[in-house]
Homo-oligomer: A and B are copies of this chain.
Amino acid sequence: MIFGSDNHAGASDKVLSAITAAYQGAAPAYGDDDYTRGGVESIAQAFGTEVSAFFVSSGTAANMLALSAMVDPWDGVVCHHQAHILLDESTGPSLFTGGAAMLPVPDRTVRMTPDQLDSMITRLPSDAPHNIRATTLSITQANECGQVYSVDEVRALSDMAKSHGLSVHMDGARFANAVAALGVHPSELTWKAGVDVFCLGASKNGAVAAEAIIFFDQSLAKDFSYRLKRTGHLTSKARLYGAQFSAWLADDHWLELARHANAQADALRTAVDDLEGVRSAWPCQSNESFMVFNKELFAALLEAGVSMYDWYPNALPEGTALADNEVLARMVTSFATTDEHIERFVETARGIGSRL
């Protein structure tokens, strides 16, 4: 009954075999090898365009390095109030960018709208050089509230950003889940919709540790290897990442894994509808679900071995609130979530409910 995070899962057999194969013989170091080149080529093919791409071991590193290539140290990055770069990367984005600040859109909704963005940027203090200068928009897809932005929504956000002179970053730690949910070509959700720099995560969806920083605007990749090196992210035996990405992208393996995770999330959400003491906090479209639990039920479920986390109360949209005996929780499914996990969760919850 593992719903704590998609990064609690193991790795897919295909990815593991690719790692073992890649380390059977010698290869040049620091990314000058065929595995790395193959990984980049796989990305170019999957997205249907030429790219500059680089690999790192964590999504936090990917985001921070990507942003460091996009902003000046006196700039700000506009993002959602629950963005990973704002809340879950400590003060790292500031370290890697030389000081840039994360600027959350103040409206507390589970997805950002172009109007919110417009209003926020328009009202931002902009007296140079005193105020922080907003120069980049970061969109998470699927986002931290389990939301998926449609092609039109991504494009509308990008267009609004660019009308204000901002470039566009996308945090795609769960991008596979978004593509699987929408059934569109990856290019439609990224460079064709105005995304300049894109972080594509494989770790949460079947890889061991593999994240790509993809420059659709290749001019921004200038000197990027220096950025990798001086942050300790230029791995010596770098083929680890390219090998994973090639195996992960081949034959739509990544989308197959994501479709499974999404389907299990749908099943979970459907099951919850019938349970006492728990309700959906808001509708979700990806492999993340947000639930409001009765506190006693929640505690009993944890005790019974369900892995899941209570969540930041600030994530609740404006105008919603928890009752005193309620707790907000996040439940995440993954490529490894089985039907049995969900069935056991439902049975456990029913059993506890009948005793409460």
A230 touches which one: B7, B29, B89, B208 (CB < 8 A)?
Answer: B89
For the complex, is A56 an interface residue (Cβ under 8 Å from B)?
yes
CA of A209 to CA of B209 in the docked complex: distance in angstroms? Answer: 11
Which chain B positions have C-beta within 8 A of A26? 2, 8-10, 336
Whether A98 is near chain B, meaning CB under 8 Å from some CB there, is yes
Closest Cβ–Cβ distance, residue A193 to chain B (whole Å)? 26
Stretch of A15-23, A184-192, A255-263 contacting B (4+ beta carbons < 8 Å): A15-23
Contact mask A185-207 → B, CB, 8 Å, 1/0? 00000000000000000011000
Judge whether A92 and B204 touch: CB under 8 Å.
Answer: no
A232 in contact with B92 (CB, 8 Å): yes
Say yes or no: B132 contacts A90, CB within 8 Å. yes
In A281-301, which residues have CB < 8 Å from any B CB? none
Bound Cα distance from A29 to B4, whole angstroms: 9
- Report B-chain residues with C-beta under 8 Å of the C-beta of A133: 226
Q: Is A11 at the interface (CB under 8 A from chain B)? A: yes
Is A28's CB under 8 angstroms from B8's CB? yes
Q: CA of A240 to CA of B244 in the docked complex: distance in angstroms?
A: 14
Partner of A72, one of B7, B208, B226: B226
A23 touching B16 in the complex, CB below 8 Å, given contacts A89-B229, A130-B229, A232-B65: yes
Taking a contact as CB atoms under 8 Å apart, the answer to whether B88 and A131 are in contact is yes
Q: Mark A225-237, 1 if CB is under 8 A from B, else 0.
A: 1111111111111
Q: Is A7 a contact partner of B74 (Cβ separation < 8 A)?
A: no
Q: Report the separation of the CA atoms of residues A73 and B65 in the bound assembly, to the nearest whole angstrom.
A: 14
Q: Mark A1-39, 1 if CB is under 8 A from B, else 0.
A: 010110111110000100110111111110000000000
Contact of A91 among B59, B73, B128 (CB under 8 A): B73
A132–B61 Cα distance when bound, in Å, is 16
- Determine the distance from Cα of A274 to Cα of B229 in the docked complex, in whole angstroms: 39
Which B residues are in CB contact (< 8 Å) with A74?
A: 90-91, 223, 226-227, 229-230
12 additional A-B pairs beyond A73-B226, A128-B226, beta carbons within 8 Å, are A8-B27, A56-B232, A60-B229, A60-B232, A60-B234, A61-B232, A74-B223, A74-B226, A99-B230, A101-B102, A129-B234, A203-B237
